């Protein structure tokens, strides 16, 4: 299935597929729970940040493919490609047995790790929702190319830490938390390193006034 060149529009189906493939149960993306979020300024569910990042990276990849080279995807990664408005044939070919998981997909799994950590600590996502303010991700492309279905990805999380002043979306007056996340594959070897920042929604809204 080909995706039009633009404009690009995410439907709830795309959001549901993306959150299901990455186990992202943040209520901002849930069509039944987003209305329960206190002081939610958004008029509907919102697209996963990693979905948007995939679309951007895919557009860059499409340009590069026209100039030579290519990337492919499989299984849950394939669904994530579709959720990100990508074209599955550009990422997955069963007949050629060629598989290459998109780096943004594997990095997106860190959201599940952060949500699980907060849930185990008793955090109330609806009463005090948080949003990402920045993603900084570095991927080992050699290890990424070697990934195959059923490979295990382990997440190591450090945080919350104090975010550097003035960093991330918003301004220096917004209290933000920093997390270091490492995606580790068998070896062990570090597949990706990520620095992500987030802030409570109410602090973002207060800073915008």
Domains of the chain by residue range: 12-208
What is the pLDDT, as a whole number, of residue 70? 47
What is the pLDDT, as a whole number, of residue 68? 42
What is the pLDDT, as a whole number, of residue 64? 56
12-208 fold: Thiol Ester Dehydrase; Chain A (3.10.129)
What is the pLDDT, as a whole number, of residue 90? 74
Report the candidate in 106, 124, 107 with the shortest Cα–Cα distance to residue 115: 124
Per-run averaged pLDDT (10 residues), the chain, 209 residues: 65 95 94 94 94 88 56 65 82 74 91 90 91 93 88 89 73 80 91 94 80
Kindly list the distances between the CA atom of residue 71 and the CA atoms of 25, 80, 91, 139, 181, in Å, as whole numbers in the listed order: 28, 14, 5, 15, 25
Sheet holding 177-185, edge to edge: 130-139, 189-200, 177-185, 153-162
């Amino acid at each position: 299935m080909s995706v039009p060149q633009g404009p690009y529009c995410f439907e709830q189906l795309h959001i549901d597929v993306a959150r299901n493939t990455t186990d992202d149960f943040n209520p901002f993306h849930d069509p039944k729970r987003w209305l329960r979020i206190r002081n939610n300024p958004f008029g509907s569910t919102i697209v996963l940040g990693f979905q948007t990042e995939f679309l951007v990276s895919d557009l860059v990849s499409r340009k590069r493919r026209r100039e030579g080279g290519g990337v492919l995807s499989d299984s849950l990664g394939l669904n994530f490609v579709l959720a990100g408005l990508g074209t599955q044939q550009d990422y997955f070919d069963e007949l050629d047995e060629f598989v290459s998981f998109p780096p943004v997909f594997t990095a997106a799994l860190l959201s599940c790790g952060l949500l699980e950590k907060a849930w185990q600590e008793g955090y109330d996502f609806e009463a005090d929702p948080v949003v990402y303010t920045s993603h900084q991700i570095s991927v080992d492309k050699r290890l990424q190319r070697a990934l195959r279905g059923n490979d295990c990805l382990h997440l190591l999380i450090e945080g919350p830490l104090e975010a550097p002043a003035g960093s991330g979306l918003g301004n220096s007056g917004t209290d933000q938390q920093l997390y270091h996340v490492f995606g580790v594959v068998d070896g062990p070897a570090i597949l990706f390193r990520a620095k992500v920042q987030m802030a409570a929604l109410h602090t973002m809204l207060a800073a915008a006034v």
